[in-house]
Amino acid sequence: MFRVLITDPLSRQGTEQLLNAPDVEVVQKTDLKKEELLVEVADADALIVRSQTQVTADVIQAARKLKAIGRAGVGVDNIDVPAATARGIVVVNAPDGNTISTAEHTFAMLISLARNIPQSYQSIIRGEWKRKDYVGVELNNKTLGILGLGRIGAELAKRARAFHMNVVAFDPYLTEERAEKVGVRKATMDEVIRSSDFITVHTPLTKETRHLIDAGAFARMKDGVRVLNCARGGIIDERALYDAIQTGKVAGAALDVFETEPPGQHPLFSLPQVIATPHLGASTREAQQNVAVDVSEEILHILRDEPFKNAVNLPSIPAELQEKLRPYQTLAEKLGRFAIQTAEGALEEITITVSGELTEMDTAPLSRIILKGALSHYLSDVNYVSAPYLARERGVKVTEQKVSRSHGFTHLIHVGIRTDAKETLVSGTLLNGLGPRIVKIDQYSVDVQPDGHLLLIHHHDRPGAIGRVGTILGNHDVNIATMQVGRKDIGGRAIMMLHVDKPISEELLKTLEELDEIQNVTAIDL
């Protein structure tokens, strides 16, 4: 039974899948003090939060069993992701659930900012009728600058274009092709800053994006620019914004998020040019339900050791790529586990090489799977998240490369293991209708199904060697399911690869190694 701790309010409809899961116990406790959270998280298998709970390194350290942290929303700045990664804890979010909600809220703020709607409303309920005080500007033909063209930024661009705005965008990962598809002009950050009538930020809050819009950025903006932040507090330097409004450089600001929340009596609120909402970007019934559904599904997948997609401490895998790589996942892990068990000595380097059709894909996710398979032979708590971290921590060099030659196969994955004693190379592929196969061990060609109990025997190619191995195994009540033999020259060195029906004891390994023809014997369990 998995214990899932929820410490922030979540839509009950959105968490129905968790609540009804037969293998899950859901514990919902909100508004916990730090000391209470440390106690509650100790025995949790998963933790689900929104933006209120601060998942610090202390909390992660106290969580003895934690496998996953779920953020019902996009930003994870309230979670110590490096600390979670170091512990092998997957951090997942719900990047799609509140996309439309936040884009719509930003656009509502944009129109309100342009037409002074909140200020004029407050005026009229005071009994005033000051039409001249609230003259606004049209959006038509104005330039909207978007910093961060992810899901939300792209949805906002669509709405702006419908109002005949010119949209320019900066994003470090934005290609010309995607910019054209979304209908924006790709620009540098400085071009966006200098050319825009309205500027909106839609980036995560990181060390690089904190105070992305600072005093220097404001100084380069057009006079009378209007700025919006419905992403994360801290992307805009609030002190610099206050000064820019006071000098007239900035005509108005619309803020849904703040560096400290709640912001209390913030100096910006004394300025009539500022409109604000209390972090409402994702506050729609639909969004609240969607993010809860998304993060609940991800948590269940992780706990049940099923494929998942929205990990923030793993590289993001597009659905199309994920589908292409899925058939190779089992092969990748088995190659890692097989290769490491054939190695001798202290592990120094793992080299992962793909060839053939695989060179046209982003195979980084497969590399993580191979690494996890290899390190799990030494470490009991390694997973796809912690594997690269644990390799670096232990001084293991990891090299990834692509080559065009695939030696007659449509695709190949090669795993090289270098220790302080020797080097080993194992190659595998997928055969149509047959699944994963190991096709080469060092210089020997084979055809081995990588599962179950295996015996790898290096020997001299002499008559009777295979028979004597079979006799010894039979005398120890070990049945041989299949056998592969590989050699380079008659009478030279060769290998036997045997599938057997049960694990091989240390005593039996020693008996086999006593045969004159045998150089070494390795038992491999997959």
- Residues taking part in catalysis: 232, 261, 279
Q: Are 107 and 282 in contact (CB under 8 A)?
A: no
Q: Are 95 and 73 in contact (CB under 8 A)?
A: no
Rg (CA), the chain: 30
For residue 259, give both structure tokens: 């560096």
Token pair 């996009």: residue: 74
For residue 195, give both structure tokens: 């050319």
Residues 6+ apart with CB under 8 A from 324: 361
What DSSP state is assigned to residue 357?
Answer: G
Residues 6+ apart with CB under 8 A from 157: 144, 146, 149, 167, 169, 182, 183, 184
**Which three-class secondary structure state does DSSP give residue 389?**
helix
Distance CA 371, CA 138 (A): 56
For 309, what's the count of Cα atoms within 13 Å in the CB-facing half-sphere? 14
For 201, what's the count of Cα atoms within 13 Å in the CB-facing half-sphere? 29
Distance CA 1, CA 89 (A): 18
What DSSP state is assigned to residue 406?
Answer: -
**Which three-class secondary structure state does DSSP give residue 155?**
helix
What DSSP state is assigned to residue 167?
Answer: E
Q: What is the 3-state secondary structure (H, E, C) of 75-141?
A: CCCCECHHHHHHCCCEEEECCCCCHHHHHHHHHHHHHHHHHCHHHHHHHHHCCCCCHHHHCCCCCCC
Q: Are 189 and 205 in contact (CB under 8 A)?
A: no
Distance CA 360, CA 493 (A): 37
Distance CA 526, CA 522 (A): 13
- In the sheet that 68-71 helps form, which strands lie side by side, from edge to edge? 24-28, 2-6, 46-49, 68-71, 90-93
